[in-house]
Amino acid sequence: MKCFFFKGKKGSKSAQESQNQRKKKNPSSEHSVRSSSSLPSPTKTLTELYKEKEHNLRVFTLQELKNATNGFNRMLKIGEGGFGSVYKGTIKPQDGRGDPTVVAIKSLNTRGFQGHKQWLAEVQFLGIVDHPNLVKLLGYCSEDGERGIQRLLVYEFMPNRSLEDHLFRRALPTLPWKTRLQIMLGAARGLAYLHEGLEVQVIYRDFKSSNVLLDTDFHAKLSDFGLAREGPIGDQTHVSTAVVGTRGYAAPEYIETGHLKVQSDIWSFGVVLYEMLTGRQALDRRRPTEQKLLEWVKQYPADSSRFSIIMDPRLRNEYSPGAARKVAKLADSCLKKKPEERPSMSQVVESLKQALQYSETSNTIFSFLGCLGFCHSVRPTKSCPVFALSNIGSLFILEDSIE
């Protein structure tokens, strides 16, 4: 799904001073619960942090990256979009020792100032961050070539492609329910880090399933920060900017006004939660009467008896209905019309952790209930859930009645 760009709205410059000192937080620690409208304001700009922070980005020559991709061979192209193309490549260690490393090399379009802005945004942003749920930038190249200035970025390689690929490409194996929850939890942690874990607040501005990449173990990592923008500083409540993003994911108030807030990312996260539940894209022109996902799911609320209709049929009912309802309610809270009523990403992290725990607990309970009939005729072994749960001494209720 391609990005859109409206030139009609003009951005305003950010203020350079702040009244409140922003505390740096550890993204892996427990977050305090707070609404997305009460986040503290940062004190520094992204450019200032980049200049202050030591980084280990490697500067590549254009020839090195040509060699790494066999001259940007089409057979090695693994992605393409409005920004340019992405190739799978192999680079040698800088000191010449050790085995080559498989990488992803993004070659940005050379069309004018916008391409340079996106390249610079990624270099500056990924040069200062360090988080397990953000893709790692290894280096960059900016060099005059036959076709003008060539701007390239070199990332760690994500072998399991994107969440979008696994949800919507039937050729790939179906993602199990637990894996889907774990992926969304990882993505939420990445967004929470951007919003709340840095000295500068960062608005991702293009959260979508194709930008959630998956490593060898299917851990989620956010990618493509060319549209990322610093959040409001000081007394500002928003950033006024040109409206860019991807249709179907961008928050309605941002499209209408050009006012950008962290709540815009939270809306996009709610859309992807519903994509994960349903296996349907935010906008699907192949469904003439059901093109818009959010309009379709409204017909089957989380509390209704018909809720299961929206669930991805590829899951084959192998999921926790109670946890799925909780995730749908979380998505609805992210999609509140008033931005200030949406949860913060740290709240979203906690809610997803609870949904994952609920799902795991319910699976254990149903394994126990299923084992009861078997154990009438066969002596249970230590691997039987009866042994694990025999001391609980409580009455188990079917999952759909547990809330």
23 known ligand binder: no
Q: Answer for the pair 290, 367: CB distance below 8 angstroms, yes or no.
A: no
User: Rounded CA gap, 379 and 394, in Å?
Assistant: 22
User: Rounded CA gap, 129 and 98, in Å?
Assistant: 26
Instruction: Specify whether the backbone of 212 is left (phi greater than 0), alpha (psi in -120 to 50) or beta.
Output: beta
User: Rounded CA gap, 115 and 328, in Å?
Assistant: 37
- Pairing of β 137-145 and β 58-59: parallel
Q: Answer for the pair 104, 88: CB distance below 8 angstroms, yes or no.
A: yes
Q: Tell me which residue has tokens 């305003």.
A: 12
User: Rounded CA gap, 40 and 344, in Å?
Assistant: 12
Radius of gyration of the chain (CA): 23
Buried b (16+ CB within 10 A) or exposed e, 179-188: ebbbbbbbbb
**Does residue 215 carry a catalytic annotation?**
no
C-alpha pair distances (Å), 154 with each of 58, 92, 129, 159, 291 = 9, 13, 15, 15, 36
What are the contacts of 334-341 at 24+ separation with CB within 8 A? Answer: 334/266, 334/267, 334/269, 334/270, 334/273, 335/267, 335/270, 335/271, 335/294, 337/252, 339/36, 339/37, 339/251, 339/253, 339/261, 339/263, 339/264, 339/266, 339/267, 340/35, 340/36, 340/37, 340/263, 341/35
* Catalytic residue of the set 130, 144, 165, 206: 206
Catalytic residues: 206
Residues of the binding site for ATP: 106
List residues forming the annotated binding site. 106
